[in-house]
Amino acid sequence: MRVSLVSASRPSGGRMYAQKLSEMLDARVISADLPLRRIVSELSREGNDVVDIQFEYRTFGSHIKTLLKLPLLVLFLRSSVAVVVTVHGVLSYRSLRGQHLRLLKWAAFVVSLRLTASFGDQMIVHSEEMKRELVGYGIMNVVVVPHGSGPLSYQAQDYSRQSILFFGFIRPSKGIDNLITAISQTLVSFPSTTLIIAGDVHSRGDHLYLMQLYDLVRKLDLGMHVRFLPRFIPEGERKTLAANSSILALPYTDDYLEVSGVVHDFSGYGLSLICSRAPRFSELRDGFDCVKSGTTPRELSESLCKLLASIELRERVARNLYQFANSESWQNVAAMRSALYSHILASRSQTE
């Protein structure tokens, strides 16, 4: 069975996901930056059995281009190959609160995905909450396949690990400013605590946000306790960061229906986890494989202190998070996808 993936070339969660998935499936990745005709030509020439399009909000460039090109690409491909679309993010009306032309943006998203689903064989999402939203839009050919987790390299908690780690793209919706303020409050009880903020910055708005974070650290006199690594972090360095940290803190403030790639990347390292109640963390259980917190500095500080005060609690949450990662390992997810692809091909052969 020959599989190709279509993914954005710009730095994004979907691109990193496609790279990992392609290694597990021995699949080729085609750039979504190519003209539509070129993408169809490349995929047709390769003799593929299945094409899996990795859909993000800006897979094909702008939001508008993506919503227009996605159903067209599926339409052009469906007669020659089985077409699967992996939806990495679902827009709900709630997630667009405060945005200009909110109703129009939501309607355009729904229409584009409904057309795409009608042309394609299958849609894949990573959580039941994402599936429920798409079913509510009238999309029925949607199935949940876990994101994929790993590497699996567990390191038990110990008293030497006092660092808090934030990892991911640095942008305002991540709540990093609240986390920094929470650290200043946490130092009253745990004066040796440090925070590492690691991740890339892409847009001009995100860069301005990073400058605001630098200013906040100076204002709170936290220079000795907060360290910035605003760049791409390779996997080897991620493992080192995890080994020196006790808690992964993700106080996101958005309402997008997704799952957190950062959680899946770090869940196998033996870190305890604090996260917000944002929809992207719906697959996690509060008090079991994470501690869910409000996003105000006071609430975050209370959650941090709760974990820092108990190595037993940190270890229990970290161990349960590791079991979550083990059950959704990349090997298991690749096997699930292969089985799904085979089922789709068998169904197509029966109808031809």
Q: Which tens digits make up the pLDDT trace of 113-135?
A: 999 999 999 999 999 999 999 99
Mean pLDDT of all residues in the chain? 95
- 267 against 235, higher pLDDT: 267
Q: What is the mean pLDDT of residues 24-32?
A: 96
All structural domains of the chain: 3-147+329-351 (3.40.50.2000), 163-327 (3.40.50.2000)
Q: Which tens digits make up the pLDDT trace of 77-89?
A: 999 999 999 999 9
Nearest-angstrom CA–CA distance, 340 and 125? 13
* pTM for this model (two decimals): 0.93
Q: Which tens digits make up the pLDDT trace of 95-104?
A: 998 888 999 9
Q: Which two tokens stand for residue 196?
A: 């590492």
- Which residues neighbour 250 within 8 Å (Cβ) at sequence distance 6 or greater? 166, 168, 174, 260, 262, 263, 273, 274, 275, 276, 281
Q: Minimum mean pLDDT among 7-16, 71-80, 81-90, 295-304: which range?
A: 7-16
pLDDT in the model for residue 34: 95
pLDDT in the model for residue 352: 64
